[in-house]
Structure 1
Amino acid sequence: MHNPDKPNVTFKILLWIYALFYMLAGFNHFISTTGYYAIMPEWLPAHKFLIYLSGILEISFGIMLLFSNTRKLGAWLIMLMLVAFMPAHIYMIQKAPFMLKSIEITPFIAWMRIPFQAMFIWWAWIYTKK
């Protein structure tokens, strides 16, 4: 019988996948810093600082998801962060097509990032409920 106070196995697996995704994405800001310059709107100041800051935030929020006492806050912060990243996604749409390292970002790819953002916001929202 399922205990509503204990998350089921699928919930835990998806939670770990989501948290790991953010932690790895955050570390990528330090490993592939130059790739982020191409997707940052020119009007934003201090690109390098913002790239590192967003990496630290992604790692921190991913870790917060793993602990029940910080999960809800971590999920809300991820949703806010994803909304804050929208200008970069809009900038990519305006800039496409362009090369991001060896990958050509076509207008289609740039536009597809918006529904993925919505999906990631929804995924985070799930963790505000439990």
Structure 2
Amino acid sequence: MSLPTGAKVVTGAFLVSGTVHLVKPEVFEPLMPRQLPAHREIIVASGVAELLCAAGLLNRRTRKVAGYASAALLAGVFPGNVQMAVDALRGDNTPLKAASVARLPLQWPMIRAALKAARTA
């Protein structure tokens, strides 16, 4: 079975985001809760996880595990996305405010798409 359309979106998003995590990890540092140690290491590890999930979704033999892992990863980073939106709303950058708030409800269809990919593998 081919990769469902929603899973293609998740794969593309993970490829882009995972690459940014590795190339410009400082972009994600403001999202990190102060109480967590090793911010840079966590950011790099999450980028690697996104790239592994993307690769896993592309391969039919690994799609089931990658779909469930992708859903878990998306759920795990949701608090960081909420923090990004809260921080953006405190600032003056209107496009950032709009983008960071608009992306929050997009997490849920992406989680559903990842789960669908896992179930249809």
TM-score range, shorter chain: 0.7 to 0.9
Equivalent residue number for residue 39 of structure 1? 31
The residue identity in structure 2 corresponding to 1:113 is R
Corresponding residue to 1:112 among 98, 102, 108: 102
The residue identity in structure 1 corresponding to 2:24 is S
Higher relative contact order (CA 8 A, sep 6+): 2
Q: Higher strand fraction: Structure 1 or Structure 2?
A: 1
Per the TM alignment, residue 83 of structure 1 is displaced from its structure 2 partner at its CA by 0.9
Per the TM alignment, residue 86 of structure 1 is displaced from its structure 2 partner at its CA by 1.7
Take 1:13 and 1:91, find their aligned partners in 2: how far apart are those partners?
Answer: 29
Equivalent residue number for residue 27 of structure 1? 19
TM-score, structure 1 as length reference = 0.76
Corresponding residue to 1:51 among 36, 43, 46: 43
Helix, strand or coil: the match of 2:31? coil
Count of matched residue positions in the alignment of Structure 1 and Structure 2 = 119
Tell me if 1:94 matches 2:86. yes
Helix, strand or coil: the match of 2:114? helix
Equivalent residue number for residue 68 of structure 1? 60
The residue identity in structure 1 corresponding to 2:47 is G
Take 1:87 and 1:16, find their aligned partners in 2: how far apart are those partners?
Answer: 24
Take 1:86 and 1:118, find their aligned partners in 2: how far apart are those partners?
Answer: 10
User: Runs of 4+ in structure 1 displaced over 4 angstroms?
Assistant: 11-17
TM-score, structure 2 as length reference = 0.81
Q: Is the 8 A contact 1:96 1:105 kept in 2?
A: yes
> Structure 1 regions of 5+ residues with no counterpart?
1-5
Helix, strand or coil: the match of 1:127? helix
Q: Is the 8 A contact 1:23 1:60 kept in 2?
A: no
CA RMSD between the two structures: 2.4
